Amino acid sequence: MTGVRNVTFQFDKRLLVLIGRGVLVLLAAMLVAAPWIFDLADLQVITELLCLLVLAVMWNLLAGYADIVTIGQHGFVGIGCYAFYAFAVFTDVGPYAAILLAGLTTLVFALPAMIVVFRLRAAYLAVGTWVLAEVMMLGAGKIDAFGAGLGISLPVSVVREFGGNIAERFTTIYWMALILAVTAMAATYFLMRSATGIGLTAMRDNEEAAGAVGVNLFRARVICFLWAAPFLGLAGALITLQKLRIAPAASFSIIDWTVYIIFIVVIGGVGSFEGPVIGTFVFFLIREYLQSWGVWHFIVLGGVSIAMVLIEPRGIWGLLRRVVPGDLIPVSHRPPRGS
């Protein structure tokens, strides 16, 4: 009797992984069909969420795997915004090339930033990245060509290149955001499955084991830092296309591109692939239903994320993972841990 119950129980648990993967597939299908099933306002919200997802995946890569806990992510997003504007307005490379060049420019900025970031002790690193982002924002606000402190609007001629009317434009931007999100997740997935990623996962789980694997952790952390930068810049370019203007306070917004992102990853689950996806969805719900609470929705977000760190540092996915026997997106071939 107990034997039979046991078997059924096992079956149920594995079914949960399948259900979870089913939900992911449905979600993906819905995203592909989105331009035909959602109206423009909804499409714009989803575009924005996709950009946040990209930022969350990158913050998770750095903080959750590479041990680079940054509070300065908004710096690179802002560089992306400004670089996109520069290439789109001051050069004739064309608007789509300008987006790609924005990613490349962010990568170029990441190189000198590394000199500072990797010299900071672990405890200092978080605030050190914040100082860098602050310097980037203040510096951007000193350049008259970008409207100095007030910022500047994207010329209509540039905007029109992405579509003659609003519907066409929103759809184009949506597709670009979807492609960026898929690329970001796929690229990060392959990075995590490479020797570099396996070494970082080992470090996350057990530092001695990582040493035994023989991974050069410094090199792995550098790769992750340079990996994340261009994606942050690309997201910045798409964000600029939605906001239609650049400004120091908005393009380098710590609230939008760092604070919210940290909440998304912490609530969803740091150090897991599912975490940023779950977190983005939960964040969307909280924002939709609690934003009318004004400052109190921040207090709820802050309180929930502190509670998460205390109760389950692996976030909602960590809580689910207590019941679900496997990862939905298997990053490593680790056998599931014993009870």
**Which residues of this chain interact with another protein, rule CB under 8 A?**
63-64, 67, 69, 71, 115-116, 119-128, 130-132, 134-135, 138-139, 141-142, 149, 254, 259, 262, 266, 270, 294-296, 298-299, 301-303, 305-306, 309-310, 313
Q: Which is nearer to another protein, 139 or 326 (CB)?
A: 139
The DSSP output letter for 124 is H
Cβ at position 159, least distance to another protein in Å: 30
Give 165 or 339: the residue with its C-beta nearer to another protein. Answer: 339
Taking the least distance from each CB to another protein, the nearer of 125 and 232 is 125
* Nearest residue (CB) to another protein, 75 versus 80: 75
Q: Which structure tokens are listed for 2? A: 């107990």
CB of 25 to another protein, least distance (A): 31
The pair of structure tokens assigned to 212 is 């035994």
- What is the DSSP-derived secondary structure letter of residue 153? E
SS3 94: coil
Closest CA to 102 of 119, 86, 118, 121: 86
- Give min distance, CB of 122 to another protein, in A: 5
* Residue 241 parent element (H or E): helix 217-243
Q: What is the DSSP string of 72-126?
A: -HHHHHHHHHHHHHHHHHHS-S-HHHHHHHHHHHHHHHHHHHHHHHTTS-HHHHH
Cβ closest to another protein, residue 77 vs residue 137: 137
Q: How far is CA 229 from CA 107, 175, 200, 297, 332, in A?
A: 5, 21, 18, 29, 24
- Cβ 71 to another protein, closest distance in Å? 7
Provide, rounded to whole angstroms, the least separation between the CB of residue 300 and another protein: 9
